[in-house]
Amino acid sequence: DSHVQYERVGADVTMKCGSMDWDAAVTWMTNGTDIDESHQNGSYLILKKVNLTQSGQYSCYEGSSWHLKYQTSLRVGMPPKEPVLMCRSNNYPKGFYCSWHLPTPTYIPNFFNISVVHGTREMVCEKDTFPKNRCHIRYLQLFSTVKYKVTLTVTNALGKNSTTLTFDEVAIVKPDPPESVVAKPVPNNPRRLEVSWQNPSSWPDPESFPLKFFLRYRPLILDQWQHVELSDGTSHTITDAYAGKEYIIQVAAKDNDIGTWSDWSVAVHATPWTEEPKHLTTEAQITETTSASTSSFMPPPTTKICDKGAVLGSGAVAVCWTAGLVLAAYGVLFI
């Protein structure tokens, strides 16, 4: 005869040896070891203030014949505390989901029952296969004045508890964070960073239900964030980045009109474009490594570039002047 017996932590447990009389001679065993007779009151096994470690298989044998008379599995646990319930619509206007968990473990099996009532109508919350403690509901109507009332009841062998959430359709709207956030430096712009992202894939209809975005960024070395709110578009150029500093950037989303902001997206790092040092270093190295004999043929790089620059400059100026004269002439003709 096999049983399961659930008992509360800290309780005093009395185990009877099946249908045996109180004064029968029996021996109790647990997990292969004898239990001392001091714990027995006649044929009853007394366990005082049980703790979790005392969970296990308990067997009772008749004194002389060693017949197994009774066997039970003792599970020490606790009645459920008030469960934590959360409901959210990350796919408005399709519907919403609710998920739940227990704040502390009970150590014994628990059963959850969820009920959703909308006005007078009872709705079915379809359980998700994964994760387990989650169910979803499809909206039949939009813009409802009547609140939704979700009640979660958790039951186990030692007790029962429940919690209720009541909310308006629009109050629980919270999109998932934006996806594929990318931040890139902008060539030749030491103070810019180009950030782009995508609408969360769970948001079904961004055309009719557009999202607005919140961008935050800071250099790694500082604690203070800078914020930008963007009412449309999925990209933004930061124009006040500190040159050469690595930045951390995140984006959040919200329905344009209702609900709350999403959590922050995954953080991306980027450093603005910095100018590459010129040939200076490489040529300087060459002149240093080559022998003194070549030095007469290769003037020090700095002066060489200066001379080149001077030549170019004068040439460029000459070009500019001629271009200017030509344009002026054309302008006069048109006016």
Partner 1 sequence: GDSWGIFTFLCAALCNLPALPALNCTEELGAGQSIQKTYDLTRYLEHQLRTLAGTYLNYLGPPFNEPDFNPPRLARAERVPSATVDLDLWRGLTDNARLAANYRAYSRLLCYLRALDGQAGTAELRHRLGHFCSSLQGLVLSIAGVMSSLGYPLPVGPAGTPAPPGTAAAMAASNDFLKKMDDFWLLKELQTWLWRSAKDFNRLKKKVPPAVVTLRLEARGF
Q: Which stretch binds partner 1 (CB under 8 A): 50-58, 96-104, 145-153, 222-230?
A: 145-153
Check residue 210 for interaction with partner 1 (CB under 8 A). Answer: yes
Residue 167 corresponds to which amino acid?
Answer: F
What residues from 12 to 71 belong to the interface with partner 1 (CB under 8 A)? none
Q: Could you tell me the smallest distance in angstroms from the CB atom of residue 94 to partner 1?
A: 8
Q: Could you tell me the smallest distance in angstroms from the CB atom of residue 212 to partner 1?
A: 11
Check residue 143 for interaction with partner 1 (CB under 8 A). Answer: yes
Check residue 280 for interaction with partner 1 (CB under 8 A). Answer: no
The total of other beta-carbon atoms located within 10 Å of residue 93's CB is 19
**Among candidate residues 129, 138, 134, the one with its CA nearest the CA of residue 112:** 134
**By rule CB under 8 A, what string of x and - marks binding of each residue 109-128 to partner 1?**
----------xx--------
**Nearer residue to partner 1 within complex by CB, 139 or 217:** 139
Q: Could you tell me the smallest distance in angstroms from the CB atom of residue 124 to partner 1?
A: 17
User: Which residues face 72 on adjacent strands?
Assistant: 3, 58
Contacts 24+ apart (CB under 8 A), 230-233: 231/256
Residue 22 corresponds to which amino acid?
Answer: W
Residue holding tokens 């067997």? 59
What residues from 152 to 171 belong to the interface with partner 1 (CB under 8 A)? 166, 170
Check residue 232 for interaction with partner 1 (CB under 8 A). Answer: no
CB within 8 Å of 332: residues ≥ 6 apart:
none
- Residue 107's Cβ-count burial label (10 Å; 0-12, 13-18, 19+) is middle
Q: Which residues bind partner 1 (CB under 8 A)?
A: 93, 119-120, 139-147, 149, 166, 170, 207-210, 256-258
